Amino acid sequence: MDRYQFEDLVSDYIENNISMSQRKQVEAYLEENPEAKQKVESVKQVMATMKSMPGVSTSAGFMNNLNKRIAAEKEASSVVKTARSFTGYTPLMASLSAVVVVAVIMLGFEFMPEGSSQATLSPTMAEQQLDDLPEMPDQTQDNMLAESEDDSTEYDGDVPVKSNFNDRIQLVGDKRP
């Protein structure tokens, strides 16, 4: 038996309302734990004090009045207060929400570029470049290449000279003097 099981059975043990096997378990626990004996004595004193106290009397309609009041409290708590709300918000929360919305809009205007407006559409760079191209005849690129007189495999240009920059560039990890 552990402490919690013992504490559940203390008052029944004192009033002799437990079975014989449970009574033997409680008495074995009391032998092993001296502080449990003190707890039993403390509970006995509390029970004796409670029995010696004078009884409290109430009016004849006390229970009826108590039940009516409990029902009224339950009904009052279940009714949603809509009289002082604006679209589900209290006036304070509605005004704070409006301030936040206005602040977000003002910040949006503050960080928007000066010249851009969504009402006026300006052509993009790609559209401007397409407009600047000369108009080509209605020939496909394959036809234009086939009609060309030039040989595209010959290259007349000079071969580029590769420069050696090892003397001029020194990187962080280089060990050169």
Whole-number Å distance between alpha carbons of 157 and 165? 24
* Bridge partners for 86 per DSSP: 89
Query: 4, 26 in Cβ contact below 8 A?
Result: no
pLDDT in tens, 75-104: 887 765 555 666 777 888 888 999 999 999
Where along the chain do its domains lie?
3-52
Whole-number Å distance between alpha carbons of 177 and 100? 64
Residue that the structure tokens 């050169």 belong to: 176
pLDDT tens for the 177 residues of the chain, in order: 888 888 899 989 999 999 999 999 999 999 999 899 999 999 999 989 998 999 888 888 999 999 999 999 988 877 655 556 667 778 888 889 999 999 999 998 888 877 655 555 565 665 656 566 666 656 566 666 556 666 666 666 666 667 776 666 667 776 665
pLDDT of residue 38: 92
> Rounded to 5 degrees, what angle do the CA atoms 129, 130, 136 make?
125
Whole-number Å distance between alpha carbons of 27 and 38? 13
Residue that the structure tokens 């502080």 belong to: 35
Element (H, E) at 97: helix 91-111
Q: Which residues contact 3 (CB under 8 A, 6 or more apart)?
A: 33, 36
pLDDT of residue 67: 95
Question: pTM for this one?
Answer: 0.34
